Chains A and B, each alone.
Chain A
Amino acid sequence: MHDLVIIGAGPAGMAAAMEARSLGLDVVVLDEQAQPGGQIYRAVETAQQRGGTLELGQDYRAGLELIAAFRACGARYLPGHQVWQVERDGAVYASDGRQTRMFQGRRILICVGAVERPVPIPGWTLPGVMSVGAAQIIQKTTGYQPGEGIWIGGSGPLAFYYAATVISAGGRIAGFLDTTPSGTLSVARAKWRSLASGWRDALKGLGYIARMRRGVDRYVKGVERIEALGQDRIEAIRWHVGGRWHESPARGLLLHEGVIPHTHMTVSLGCAHHWDEQQQCFRPTTDACGQTDQDTILVAGDCAGIAGAQAAQCRGRLAAQGAARALGRIEQAEFDKRFATTRAALQGHEALRPFLDAMYRPSAHLQAPDDDVLVCRCEGISARMIRDAVEIGARGPNQAKAYTRCGMGPCQGRMCGLTVTTTIAQAAGISPQTVGGFRIRPPLKPLSLGELASLARTGQAE
Protein backbone atom coordinates (compact mmCIF):
# COMPACT_ATOMS: atom_id res chain seq x y z
CA MET A 1 0.00 0.00 0.00
CA HIS A 2 1.37 3.43 -1.00
CA ASP A 3 0.24 6.80 0.28
CA LEU A 4 0.08 8.24 -3.20
CA VAL A 5 0.06 6.60 -6.63
CA ILE A 6 0.76 9.17 -9.33
CA ILE A 7 -0.10 8.37 -12.92
CA GLY A 8 1.99 10.39 -15.36
CA ALA A 9 5.53 11.75 -15.06
CA GLY A 10 5.05 15.04 -16.86
CA PRO A 11 5.44 18.41 -15.10
CA ALA A 12 2.35 17.92 -12.91
CA GLY A 13 3.23 14.39 -11.85
CA MET A 14 6.86 15.19 -11.18
CA ALA A 15 6.09 18.33 -9.16
CA ALA A 16 3.46 16.44 -7.20
CA ALA A 17 5.88 13.63 -6.45
CA MET A 18 8.50 16.05 -5.18
CA GLU A 19 6.02 17.95 -3.04
CA ALA A 20 4.55 14.77 -1.61
CA ARG A 21 8.00 13.43 -0.83
CA SER A 22 8.89 16.67 0.94
CA LEU A 23 5.90 15.97 3.17
CA GLY A 24 7.08 12.46 3.90
CA LEU A 25 4.53 10.58 1.81
CA ASP A 26 5.35 7.24 0.25
CA VAL A 27 4.96 7.79 -3.48
CA VAL A 28 4.99 5.64 -6.59
CA VAL A 29 4.93 7.23 -10.06
CA LEU A 30 3.81 5.23 -13.12
CA ASP A 31 4.42 6.50 -16.65
CA GLU A 32 4.09 4.90 -20.07
CA GLN A 33 7.14 6.62 -21.59
CA ALA A 34 10.70 5.42 -21.16
CA GLN A 35 11.81 8.74 -19.65
CA PRO A 36 10.12 11.37 -17.48
CA GLY A 37 8.93 14.66 -18.97
CA GLY A 38 5.46 14.06 -20.38
CA GLN A 39 5.01 15.60 -23.81
CA ILE A 40 6.37 19.06 -23.10
CA TYR A 41 9.74 17.80 -21.86
CA ARG A 42 9.67 14.67 -23.92
CA ALA A 43 13.03 12.95 -24.26
CA VAL A 44 14.84 16.03 -22.96
CA GLU A 45 17.44 13.89 -21.21
CA THR A 46 18.44 12.04 -24.37
CA ALA A 47 18.14 15.27 -26.37
CA GLN A 48 20.72 16.81 -24.07
CA GLN A 49 23.02 13.84 -24.50
CA ARG A 50 22.67 14.27 -28.22
CA GLY A 51 23.39 17.96 -27.80
CA GLY A 52 20.15 18.94 -29.45
CA THR A 53 18.27 21.05 -26.95
CA LEU A 54 19.45 24.52 -27.96
CA GLU A 55 17.05 25.24 -30.77
CA LEU A 56 14.13 23.97 -28.76
CA GLY A 57 14.48 26.85 -26.37
CA GLN A 58 14.98 27.56 -22.75
CA ASP A 59 11.56 26.33 -21.70
CA TYR A 60 12.37 22.86 -22.96
CA ARG A 61 15.77 22.82 -21.32
CA ALA A 62 14.15 23.84 -18.04
CA GLY A 63 12.72 20.35 -18.01
CA LEU A 64 16.18 18.96 -17.29
CA GLU A 65 16.34 20.56 -13.89
CA LEU A 66 12.85 19.44 -13.01
CA ILE A 67 13.57 15.89 -14.08
CA ALA A 68 16.80 15.73 -12.14
CA ALA A 69 15.04 16.92 -9.00
CA PHE A 70 12.26 14.43 -9.60
CA ARG A 71 14.65 11.53 -9.99
CA ALA A 72 16.31 12.49 -6.72
CA CYS A 73 13.20 12.98 -4.62
CA GLY A 74 12.82 9.40 -3.46
CA ALA A 75 9.60 8.51 -5.24
CA ARG A 76 9.46 5.02 -6.67
CA TYR A 77 9.47 5.71 -10.42
CA LEU A 78 8.32 3.06 -12.92
CA PRO A 79 8.73 4.07 -16.55
CA GLY A 80 7.34 1.98 -19.40
CA HIS A 81 4.19 1.14 -17.45
CA GLN A 82 0.85 1.71 -19.14
CA VAL A 83 -2.01 2.10 -16.70
CA TRP A 84 -5.04 0.32 -18.06
CA GLN A 85 -7.40 0.40 -15.10
CA VAL A 86 -7.91 2.52 -12.01
CA GLU A 87 -10.53 1.62 -9.43
CA ARG A 88 -12.14 3.85 -6.85
CA ASP A 89 -10.80 1.83 -3.96
CA GLY A 90 -7.28 2.90 -4.97
CA ALA A 91 -6.25 -0.08 -7.10
CA VAL A 92 -4.17 0.75 -10.19
CA TYR A 93 -3.35 -1.86 -12.84
CA ALA A 94 -0.36 -1.21 -15.09
CA SER A 95 1.23 -3.27 -17.86
CA ASP A 96 4.90 -3.19 -18.73
CA GLY A 97 4.10 -4.79 -22.08
CA ARG A 98 4.56 -8.32 -20.86
CA GLN A 99 2.85 -8.53 -17.54
CA THR A 100 0.44 -6.58 -15.39
CA ARG A 101 1.15 -5.37 -11.90
CA MET A 102 -1.31 -3.99 -9.41
CA PHE A 103 -0.58 -1.04 -7.14
CA GLN A 104 -2.65 0.12 -4.21
CA GLY A 105 -2.75 3.76 -3.11
CA ARG A 106 -4.57 5.61 -0.38
CA ARG A 107 -4.86 8.39 -2.88
CA ILE A 108 -4.50 8.35 -6.67
CA LEU A 109 -3.31 11.43 -8.51
CA ILE A 110 -4.03 11.46 -12.22
CA CYS A 111 -1.62 13.57 -14.27
CA VAL A 112 -2.08 12.20 -17.76
CA GLY A 113 -1.95 15.57 -19.48
CA ALA A 114 -3.56 16.63 -22.71
CA VAL A 115 -4.27 15.23 -26.13
CA GLU A 116 -4.57 17.28 -29.30
CA ARG A 117 -8.00 18.50 -30.22
CA PRO A 118 -9.14 16.35 -33.15
CA VAL A 119 -8.99 18.20 -36.47
CA PRO A 120 -11.52 16.39 -38.67
CA ILE A 121 -10.94 17.81 -42.14
CA PRO A 122 -11.37 16.08 -45.50
CA GLY A 123 -8.38 13.80 -46.00
CA TRP A 124 -7.14 13.90 -42.40
CA THR A 125 -6.66 10.14 -42.37
CA LEU A 126 -4.24 10.14 -45.31
CA PRO A 127 -0.67 8.99 -44.68
CA GLY A 128 1.41 12.14 -44.40
CA VAL A 129 -1.19 14.04 -42.37
CA MET A 130 -0.20 14.24 -38.71
CA SER A 131 -0.64 16.49 -35.74
CA VAL A 132 1.89 19.21 -34.99
CA GLY A 133 2.37 17.50 -31.64
CA ALA A 134 3.48 14.37 -33.47
CA ALA A 135 6.05 16.30 -35.45
CA GLN A 136 7.26 17.92 -32.25
CA ILE A 137 7.67 14.51 -30.60
CA ILE A 138 9.75 13.40 -33.57
CA GLN A 139 11.80 16.58 -33.27
CA LYS A 140 12.41 16.10 -29.57
CA THR A 141 13.20 12.40 -29.69
CA THR A 142 15.41 12.40 -32.79
CA GLY A 143 16.24 15.95 -33.78
CA TYR A 144 14.57 15.35 -37.15
CA GLN A 145 12.89 18.29 -38.84
CA PRO A 146 10.29 18.41 -41.63
CA GLY A 147 11.57 17.61 -45.11
CA GLU A 148 10.44 19.10 -48.40
CA GLY A 149 6.86 20.14 -48.98
CA ILE A 150 5.59 19.93 -45.40
CA TRP A 151 2.86 22.41 -44.49
CA ILE A 152 1.37 23.40 -41.15
CA GLY A 153 -2.36 24.06 -40.93
CA GLY A 154 -4.03 25.40 -37.80
CA SER A 155 -3.42 27.80 -34.97
CA GLY A 156 -2.50 28.02 -31.32
CA PRO A 157 0.67 28.46 -29.30
CA LEU A 158 2.01 24.96 -29.95
CA ALA A 159 1.81 25.36 -33.72
CA PHE A 160 3.64 28.69 -33.65
CA TYR A 161 6.21 27.40 -31.20
CA TYR A 162 6.92 24.29 -33.26
CA ALA A 163 7.29 26.27 -36.47
CA ALA A 164 9.65 28.71 -34.75
CA THR A 165 11.84 25.90 -33.45
CA VAL A 166 12.01 24.29 -36.90
CA ILE A 167 13.16 27.60 -38.35
CA SER A 168 15.74 28.05 -35.58
CA ALA A 169 17.15 24.62 -36.32
CA GLY A 170 17.56 25.54 -39.96
CA GLY A 171 14.61 23.42 -41.07
CA ARG A 172 12.00 24.38 -43.65
CA ILE A 173 8.26 24.77 -43.55
CA ALA A 174 6.70 24.93 -47.01
CA GLY A 175 3.78 26.94 -45.75
CA PHE A 176 1.86 27.92 -42.63
CA LEU A 177 -1.92 28.16 -43.08
CA ASP A 178 -3.03 30.14 -40.06
CA THR A 179 -6.63 29.39 -39.13
CA THR A 180 -6.73 31.83 -36.22
CA PRO A 181 -10.14 33.49 -36.48
CA SER A 182 -9.99 37.14 -37.45
CA GLY A 183 -10.66 39.77 -34.83
CA THR A 184 -7.46 39.69 -32.80
CA LEU A 185 -7.85 43.30 -31.80
CA SER A 186 -11.36 42.87 -30.42
CA VAL A 187 -10.27 39.79 -28.48
CA ALA A 188 -7.30 41.72 -27.15
CA ARG A 189 -9.62 44.50 -26.04
CA ALA A 190 -12.09 42.10 -24.42
CA LYS A 191 -9.34 40.16 -22.64
CA TRP A 192 -7.01 43.06 -21.92
CA ARG A 193 -6.65 42.11 -18.27
CA SER A 194 -5.45 38.66 -19.20
CA LEU A 195 -3.09 40.08 -21.78
CA ALA A 196 -1.76 42.62 -19.31
CA SER A 197 -1.07 40.19 -16.47
CA GLY A 198 0.30 37.53 -18.82
CA TRP A 199 2.39 39.94 -20.84
CA ARG A 200 5.61 37.95 -20.46
CA ASP A 201 4.07 34.84 -21.98
CA ALA A 202 2.34 36.97 -24.60
CA LEU A 203 5.63 38.52 -25.66
CA LYS A 204 7.25 35.12 -25.88
CA GLY A 205 4.39 33.98 -28.08
CA LEU A 206 4.73 37.01 -30.33
CA GLY A 207 8.38 36.17 -30.68
CA TYR A 208 7.57 32.67 -31.91
CA ILE A 209 5.01 34.02 -34.35
CA ALA A 210 7.48 36.54 -35.71
CA ARG A 211 10.20 33.96 -36.14
CA MET A 212 7.76 31.64 -37.88
CA ARG A 213 6.54 34.32 -40.25
CA ARG A 214 10.05 35.32 -41.19
CA GLY A 215 11.16 31.77 -41.79
CA VAL A 216 8.34 29.87 -43.50
CA ASP A 217 8.29 29.73 -47.28
CA ARG A 218 4.72 30.93 -47.35
CA TYR A 219 2.34 32.27 -44.68
CA VAL A 220 -1.40 32.64 -45.17
CA LYS A 221 -3.54 34.37 -42.57
CA GLY A 222 -7.25 33.98 -41.88
CA VAL A 223 -7.59 30.55 -43.50
CA GLU A 224 -11.12 29.21 -43.10
CA ARG A 225 -10.88 25.66 -44.43
CA ILE A 226 -8.13 23.18 -45.16
CA GLU A 227 -8.33 19.89 -47.06
CA ALA A 228 -5.80 17.16 -47.72
CA LEU A 229 -5.92 15.44 -51.09
CA GLY A 230 -4.44 12.19 -52.32
CA GLN A 231 -4.99 8.50 -52.83
CA ASP A 232 -2.78 6.41 -50.57
CA ARG A 233 -0.84 9.38 -49.26
CA ILE A 234 -1.15 13.13 -49.21
CA GLU A 235 -0.31 14.67 -52.57
CA ALA A 236 -1.79 18.14 -52.34
CA ILE A 237 -3.62 20.52 -50.05
CA ARG A 238 -6.35 23.06 -50.63
CA TRP A 239 -7.33 25.94 -48.46
CA HIS A 240 -10.10 28.51 -48.50
CA VAL A 241 -9.38 32.13 -47.77
CA GLY A 242 -10.53 35.44 -49.19
CA GLY A 243 -13.57 33.87 -50.81
CA ARG A 244 -11.76 31.34 -52.93
CA TRP A 245 -9.90 28.03 -52.86
CA HIS A 246 -6.16 27.76 -53.32
CA GLU A 247 -4.18 24.61 -53.95
CA SER A 248 -0.61 23.42 -53.68
CA PRO A 249 1.24 20.12 -53.98
CA ALA A 250 2.32 18.85 -50.55
CA ARG A 251 4.19 15.92 -49.10
CA GLY A 252 2.97 16.38 -45.56
CA LEU A 253 0.44 18.35 -43.54
CA LEU A 254 0.73 19.01 -39.81
CA LEU A 255 -2.52 19.98 -38.13
CA HIS A 256 -3.11 21.70 -34.82
CA GLU A 257 -6.11 23.34 -33.17
CA GLY A 258 -5.08 23.38 -29.55
CA VAL A 259 -5.02 20.68 -26.90
CA ILE A 260 -7.72 19.34 -24.62
CA PRO A 261 -7.65 17.46 -21.30
CA HIS A 262 -7.19 13.72 -21.56
CA THR A 263 -10.22 12.71 -19.52
CA HIS A 264 -10.45 8.97 -20.24
CA MET A 265 -9.24 7.93 -16.82
CA THR A 266 -11.37 10.33 -14.83
CA VAL A 267 -14.46 9.50 -16.89
CA SER A 268 -13.88 5.78 -16.39
CA LEU A 269 -13.90 6.39 -12.65
CA GLY A 270 -17.26 8.10 -12.82
CA CYS A 271 -15.82 11.45 -11.69
CA ALA A 272 -18.03 14.43 -12.37
CA HIS A 273 -17.05 16.45 -15.45
CA HIS A 274 -18.34 19.69 -16.85
CA TRP A 275 -18.21 21.38 -20.21
CA ASP A 276 -15.79 24.29 -20.20
CA GLU A 277 -17.30 26.91 -22.47
CA GLN A 278 -14.07 28.89 -22.60
CA GLN A 279 -11.93 25.95 -23.69
CA GLN A 280 -14.70 24.11 -25.58
CA CYS A 281 -14.00 20.75 -23.99
CA PHE A 282 -14.87 18.60 -20.97
CA ARG A 283 -12.81 18.74 -17.82
CA PRO A 284 -13.12 17.07 -14.41
CA THR A 285 -14.85 19.08 -11.71
CA THR A 286 -12.47 19.61 -8.81
CA ASP A 287 -11.69 21.82 -5.85
CA ALA A 288 -8.62 24.04 -5.62
CA CYS A 289 -6.40 21.04 -4.79
CA GLY A 290 -7.60 18.94 -7.69
CA GLN A 291 -9.84 16.79 -5.50
CA THR A 292 -12.58 15.20 -7.63
CA ASP A 293 -15.96 14.08 -6.34
CA GLN A 294 -14.46 10.61 -5.75
CA ASP A 295 -12.65 10.60 -2.40
CA THR A 296 -9.55 8.73 -3.50
CA ILE A 297 -9.07 10.49 -6.84
CA LEU A 298 -7.25 13.77 -7.50
CA VAL A 299 -6.15 15.33 -10.77
CA ALA A 300 -3.47 17.84 -11.73
CA GLY A 301 -2.00 19.35 -14.84
CA ASP A 302 -3.45 19.69 -18.31
CA CYS A 303 -5.78 16.72 -17.79
CA ALA A 304 -7.62 18.89 -15.26
CA GLY A 305 -7.78 21.87 -17.62
CA ILE A 306 -5.37 23.31 -20.19
CA ALA A 307 -2.95 25.77 -18.63
CA GLY A 308 0.56 24.76 -19.69
CA ALA A 309 3.60 23.25 -18.00
CA GLN A 310 4.28 25.88 -15.34
CA ALA A 311 0.67 25.86 -14.16
CA ALA A 312 0.79 22.06 -14.23
CA GLN A 313 3.63 22.03 -11.75
CA CYS A 314 1.70 24.33 -9.41
CA ARG A 315 -1.38 22.15 -9.68
CA GLY A 316 0.72 19.08 -9.01
CA ARG A 317 2.02 20.66 -5.82
CA LEU A 318 -1.50 21.69 -4.75
CA ALA A 319 -2.72 18.15 -5.27
CA ALA A 320 0.10 16.75 -3.18
CA GLN A 321 -0.77 19.21 -0.44
CA GLY A 322 -4.43 18.23 -0.66
CA ALA A 323 -3.63 14.53 -0.55
CA ALA A 324 -1.33 15.02 2.43
CA ARG A 325 -4.05 16.92 4.25
CA ALA A 326 -6.63 14.23 3.51
CA LEU A 327 -4.22 11.64 4.89
CA GLY A 328 -3.49 13.72 8.00
CA ARG A 329 0.16 14.11 7.10
CA ILE A 330 0.44 17.90 7.15
CA GLU A 331 -0.29 20.48 9.85
CA GLN A 332 -2.96 23.00 8.96
CA ALA A 333 -0.56 25.95 9.30
CA GLU A 334 1.98 24.32 7.00
CA PHE A 335 -0.75 23.48 4.53
CA ASP A 336 -2.07 27.03 4.54
CA LYS A 337 1.38 28.43 3.89
CA ARG A 338 2.23 26.10 1.02
CA PHE A 339 -1.24 26.38 -0.47
CA ALA A 340 -1.14 30.17 -0.50
CA THR A 341 2.30 30.33 -2.11
CA THR A 342 1.45 27.77 -4.77
CA ARG A 343 -1.92 29.35 -5.53
CA ALA A 344 -0.31 32.73 -6.07
CA ALA A 345 2.23 31.22 -8.44
CA LEU A 346 -0.53 29.36 -10.27
CA GLN A 347 -2.50 32.53 -10.82
CA GLY A 348 0.50 34.09 -12.47
CA HIS A 349 0.98 31.16 -14.81
CA GLU A 350 -2.69 31.04 -15.73
CA ALA A 351 -2.90 34.74 -16.42
CA LEU A 352 -2.74 34.59 -20.20
CA ARG A 353 -5.14 31.67 -20.47
CA PRO A 354 -8.40 33.62 -20.95
CA PHE A 355 -6.81 35.57 -23.79
CA LEU A 356 -5.40 32.42 -25.43
CA ASP A 357 -8.69 30.55 -25.12
CA ALA A 358 -10.57 33.43 -26.72
CA MET A 359 -7.98 33.92 -29.48
CA TYR A 360 -7.73 30.30 -30.51
CA ARG A 361 -11.28 29.01 -30.34
CA PRO A 362 -11.91 26.03 -32.63
CA SER A 363 -14.00 26.85 -35.66
CA ALA A 364 -17.54 25.60 -36.08
CA HIS A 365 -16.80 23.34 -39.02
CA LEU A 366 -14.38 21.34 -36.87
CA GLN A 367 -16.97 20.88 -34.18
CA ALA A 368 -19.69 19.91 -36.65
CA PRO A 369 -17.80 18.66 -39.74
CA ASP A 370 -19.26 18.38 -43.22
CA ASP A 371 -21.17 15.17 -43.94
CA ASP A 372 -18.41 13.29 -45.74
CA VAL A 373 -15.66 13.99 -43.26
CA LEU A 374 -14.56 11.04 -41.11
CA VAL A 375 -15.27 11.61 -37.45
CA CYS A 376 -14.34 8.16 -36.08
CA ARG A 377 -11.06 7.15 -37.70
CA CYS A 378 -10.92 3.66 -36.23
CA GLU A 379 -14.31 2.54 -37.53
CA GLY A 380 -14.62 4.84 -40.55
CA ILE A 381 -17.73 6.72 -39.35
CA SER A 382 -18.55 10.00 -41.09
CA ALA A 383 -20.29 13.07 -39.69
CA ARG A 384 -23.31 12.17 -41.84
CA MET A 385 -23.61 8.84 -40.08
CA ILE A 386 -23.57 10.55 -36.70
CA ARG A 387 -26.30 12.93 -37.87
CA ASP A 388 -28.34 9.99 -39.16
CA ALA A 389 -28.11 8.44 -35.70
CA VAL A 390 -29.41 11.68 -34.20
CA GLU A 391 -32.29 11.65 -36.69
CA ILE A 392 -33.40 8.23 -35.48
CA GLY A 393 -33.23 9.27 -31.86
CA ALA A 394 -29.65 9.18 -30.61
CA ARG A 395 -29.18 12.04 -28.20
CA GLY A 396 -25.78 11.15 -26.87
CA PRO A 397 -22.50 9.57 -27.93
CA ASN A 398 -23.24 6.21 -26.31
CA GLN A 399 -26.43 5.82 -28.29
CA ALA A 400 -24.64 6.97 -31.43
CA LYS A 401 -21.98 4.36 -30.67
CA ALA A 402 -24.59 1.61 -30.47
CA TYR A 403 -26.02 2.67 -33.83
CA THR A 404 -22.84 3.32 -35.77
CA ARG A 405 -19.86 1.73 -33.99
CA CYS A 406 -18.24 5.16 -33.56
CA GLY A 407 -15.97 5.01 -30.53
CA MET A 408 -15.76 1.21 -30.58
CA GLY A 409 -12.29 1.04 -32.08
CA PRO A 410 -8.93 0.74 -30.33
CA CYS A 411 -8.54 4.48 -29.62
CA GLN A 412 -11.67 4.25 -27.46
CA GLY A 413 -12.91 7.65 -28.56
CA ARG A 414 -9.73 9.65 -27.98
CA MET A 415 -9.70 10.89 -31.56
CA CYS A 416 -13.43 11.24 -32.08
CA GLY A 417 -15.17 11.66 -28.73
CA LEU A 418 -15.16 15.44 -28.64
CA THR A 419 -16.26 15.71 -32.26
CA VAL A 420 -19.08 13.22 -31.70
CA THR A 421 -20.30 15.27 -28.75
CA THR A 422 -20.23 18.60 -30.59
CA THR A 423 -21.70 17.13 -33.79
CA ILE A 424 -24.63 15.67 -31.86
CA ALA A 425 -25.03 18.93 -29.92
CA GLN A 426 -25.33 20.90 -33.12
CA ALA A 427 -27.59 18.40 -34.88
CA ALA A 428 -29.93 17.92 -31.93
CA GLY A 429 -29.84 21.52 -30.73
CA ILE A 430 -28.74 20.65 -27.21
CA SER A 431 -25.73 21.75 -25.18
CA PRO A 432 -22.53 19.69 -25.10
CA GLN A 433 -22.94 19.51 -21.33
CA THR A 434 -26.25 17.70 -21.78
CA VAL A 435 -25.01 15.53 -24.63
CA GLY A 436 -22.11 14.29 -22.53
CA GLY A 437 -19.26 12.06 -23.65
CA PHE A 438 -18.56 8.39 -24.24
CA ARG A 439 -18.73 6.03 -21.29
CA ILE A 440 -15.16 4.82 -20.82
CA ARG A 441 -14.44 1.30 -19.67
CA PRO A 442 -11.31 -0.69 -18.95
CA PRO A 443 -8.88 -1.44 -20.36
CA LEU A 444 -7.85 2.17 -20.84
CA LYS A 445 -5.23 0.87 -23.24
CA PRO A 446 -5.68 -2.40 -25.15
CA LEU A 447 -4.43 -5.31 -23.15
CA SER A 448 -3.89 -8.89 -24.25
CA LEU A 449 -6.30 -11.49 -22.91
CA GLY A 450 -3.33 -13.54 -21.77
CA GLU A 451 -2.05 -10.67 -19.68
CA LEU A 452 -5.46 -10.09 -18.13
CA ALA A 453 -5.80 -13.82 -17.52
CA SER A 454 -2.52 -13.85 -15.62
CA LEU A 455 -4.16 -11.63 -12.99
CA ALA A 456 -6.47 -14.52 -12.19
CA ARG A 457 -3.43 -16.57 -11.37
CA THR A 458 -1.57 -14.02 -9.25
CA GLY A 459 -3.44 -10.76 -8.50
CA GLN A 460 -1.11 -9.65 -5.72
CA ALA A 461 -0.85 -5.95 -4.94
CA GLU A 462 2.50 -4.19 -4.78
Chain B
Amino acid sequence: MFVQPPKGVRSRLIAVTVDGEEVLIPEGSSAALAAMQASPTGTRRSPATGQARAPYCMMGACFECLLEIDGVPSLQGCLIVVRPGMTICRPQGAREIPDA
Protein backbone atom coordinates (compact mmCIF):
# COMPACT_ATOMS: atom_id res chain seq x y z
CA MET B 1 0.00 0.00 0.00
CA PHE B 2 2.94 2.34 0.68
CA VAL B 3 6.14 2.59 -1.34
CA GLN B 4 9.47 4.35 -1.55
CA PRO B 5 9.03 7.74 -3.20
CA PRO B 6 10.19 7.94 -6.83
CA LYS B 7 12.64 10.72 -6.08
CA GLY B 8 14.42 12.14 -3.09
CA VAL B 9 16.00 10.34 -0.18
CA ARG B 10 15.36 6.64 0.13
CA SER B 11 15.22 5.02 3.53
CA ARG B 12 17.58 2.27 4.49
CA LEU B 13 15.83 -1.10 4.47
CA ILE B 14 16.15 -3.64 7.23
CA ALA B 15 14.95 -7.25 7.47
CA VAL B 16 12.35 -8.55 9.87
CA THR B 17 10.18 -11.67 9.71
CA VAL B 18 6.41 -11.65 9.54
CA ASP B 19 4.90 -15.09 10.19
CA GLY B 20 8.27 -16.62 9.42
CA GLU B 21 8.73 -14.89 6.04
CA GLU B 22 11.47 -12.32 5.63
CA VAL B 23 10.23 -8.81 4.88
CA LEU B 24 12.32 -5.76 3.97
CA ILE B 25 11.04 -2.61 5.57
CA PRO B 26 12.42 0.92 5.99
CA GLU B 27 14.25 1.87 9.12
CA GLY B 28 11.85 3.78 11.35
CA SER B 29 8.84 1.65 10.40
CA SER B 30 6.59 0.34 13.05
CA ALA B 31 5.98 -3.38 13.43
CA ALA B 32 2.40 -2.66 12.38
CA LEU B 33 3.55 -1.26 9.06
CA ALA B 34 5.77 -4.28 8.49
CA ALA B 35 2.86 -6.64 9.15
CA MET B 36 0.52 -4.61 6.97
CA GLN B 37 2.83 -4.48 4.01
CA ALA B 38 3.46 -8.23 4.30
CA SER B 39 -0.23 -9.14 4.46
CA PRO B 40 -2.59 -6.95 2.46
CA THR B 41 -5.59 -9.11 3.34
CA GLY B 42 -5.33 -8.21 7.00
CA THR B 43 -3.04 -8.58 9.99
CA ARG B 44 -5.62 -10.26 12.20
CA ARG B 45 -9.21 -11.42 12.50
CA SER B 46 -11.52 -9.60 14.86
CA PRO B 47 -12.14 -11.82 17.92
CA ALA B 48 -15.70 -10.48 18.04
CA THR B 49 -16.79 -10.80 14.39
CA GLY B 50 -14.15 -12.87 12.58
CA GLN B 51 -13.68 -10.12 9.95
CA ALA B 52 -10.27 -9.43 8.46
CA ARG B 53 -8.69 -6.36 10.06
CA ALA B 54 -5.57 -4.26 9.59
CA PRO B 55 -4.07 -1.20 11.29
CA TYR B 56 -6.23 1.90 10.94
CA CYS B 57 -4.79 4.80 12.96
CA MET B 58 -1.07 3.99 13.42
CA MET B 59 -1.00 6.04 16.60
CA GLY B 60 -2.13 3.71 19.35
CA ALA B 61 -5.85 4.46 19.40
CA CYS B 62 -7.57 1.80 17.29
CA PHE B 63 -5.92 -1.40 18.64
CA GLU B 64 -6.29 -3.13 15.26
CA CYS B 65 -2.51 -3.57 15.11
CA LEU B 66 -2.26 -6.15 17.90
CA LEU B 67 0.64 -8.46 17.07
CA GLU B 68 2.98 -10.93 18.72
CA ILE B 69 6.42 -9.32 18.66
CA ASP B 70 9.56 -11.24 19.64
CA GLY B 71 7.41 -13.75 21.48
CA VAL B 72 5.29 -11.31 23.47
CA PRO B 73 1.64 -11.48 22.37
CA SER B 74 -0.98 -8.77 22.12
CA LEU B 75 1.27 -5.73 21.64
CA GLN B 76 0.28 -2.60 19.74
CA GLY B 77 2.59 -2.92 16.76
CA CYS B 78 2.26 0.74 15.77
CA LEU B 79 4.06 1.86 18.91
CA ILE B 80 7.04 -0.44 18.36
CA VAL B 81 9.83 0.55 15.98
CA VAL B 82 11.32 -2.36 14.05
CA ARG B 83 14.82 -3.64 14.71
CA PRO B 84 16.76 -5.96 12.41
CA GLY B 85 15.71 -9.56 13.01
CA MET B 86 12.51 -8.71 14.85
CA THR B 87 10.00 -11.59 14.69
CA ILE B 88 6.45 -10.48 14.12
CA CYS B 89 3.51 -12.86 14.16
CA ARG B 90 -0.08 -12.11 13.33
CA PRO B 91 -2.67 -13.32 15.85
CA GLN B 92 -5.69 -15.37 14.77
CA GLY B 93 -8.86 -14.50 16.71
CA ALA B 94 -8.54 -14.52 20.49
CA ARG B 95 -4.99 -14.97 21.63
CA GLU B 96 -3.70 -18.31 22.87
CA ILE B 97 -2.97 -18.98 26.51
CA PRO B 98 0.65 -20.02 26.93
CA ASP B 99 1.15 -23.39 28.63
CA ALA B 100 1.47 -23.18 32.38
Direct A–B contact in the complex, CB atoms closer than 8 angstroms: yes
Count of A interface residues, CB-CB < 8 Å = 58
Also in contact, A137 and B42, with CB within 8 A (given A252-B1, A446-B74) = no
**Residues of chain B at the chain A interface (Cβ within 8 Å):** 1-12, 25-30, 33, 36, 40-43, 46, 48-49, 51-64, 66, 74-76, 78-79, 81
Q: Which of A222-263 touch B at CB < 8 Å?
A: 231-233, 251-252, 262
- Choose among A125, A127, A135, A170 the residue that contacts B41 (Cβ–Cβ < 8 A): A127
A432 to B95, CA, bound (A): 36
Also in contact, A142 and B53, with CB within 8 A (given A379-B48, A411-B62) = no
A24 within 8 Å of B (CB atoms): no
Q: Which residues of B contact A251 (CB under 8 A)?
A: 1
A251 to B54, CA, bound (A): 14
A296 within 8 Å of B (CB atoms): no
Main secondary structure of the interface of B (DSSP, over half): loop
A128 to B62, CA, bound (A): 14
Q: How far is the CB of A295 from chain B (nearest CB, A)?
A: 29
A150 within 8 Å of B (CB atoms): yes
Contacts A82-B79, A127-B54, A378-B48 known; 14 new A-B pairs at CB < 8 A = A39-B59, A51-B9, A116-B61, A127-B36, A127-B42, A131-B57, A135-B2, A142-B33, A169-B5, A170-B5, A171-B5, A251-B1, A415-B61, A415-B62
A410 to B75, CA, bound (A): 11
Q: How far is the CB of A182 from chain B (nearest CB, A)?
A: 28
**Residues of chain A at the chain B interface (Cβ within 8 Å):** 32-34, 39, 43, 46-47, 50-52, 54-55, 82, 97, 115-116, 124-131, 133-135, 137-138, 141-147, 150, 169-171, 231-233, 251-252, 262, 377-380, 405, 409-411, 414-415, 445-446
Q: How far is the CB of A305 from chain B (nearest CB, A)?
A: 18
Also in contact, A410 and B26, with CB within 8 A (given A55-B8, A142-B33, A170-B6) = no
Q: Is the CB of A377 within 8 A of B64?
A: yes
A144 to B28, CA, bound (A): 11
Also in contact, A232 and B48, with CB within 8 A (given A129-B56, A144-B5) = no
Q: How far is the CB of A407 from chain B (nearest CB, A)?
A: 12
Also in contact, A134 and B1, with CB within 8 A (given A34-B81, A143-B9, A410-B63) = no
Q: Is the CB of B60 within 8 A of A32?
A: yes
A55 to B12, CA, bound (A): 18
A84 to B91, CA, bound (A): 24
- Choose among B25, B36, B52, B61 the residue that contacts A126 (Cβ–Cβ < 8 A): B52
- Choose among B1, B5, B43, B76 the residue that contacts A143 (Cβ–Cβ < 8 A): B5
A445 to B10, CA, bound (A): 34
A128 to B3, CA, bound (A): 14
Q: Which residues of A contact B33 (CB under 8 A)?
A: 138, 141-142, 144
Q: Is the CB of B79 within 8 A of A233?
A: no
Q: Is the CB of B58 within 8 A of A137?
A: yes
A39 to B57, CA, bound (A): 11
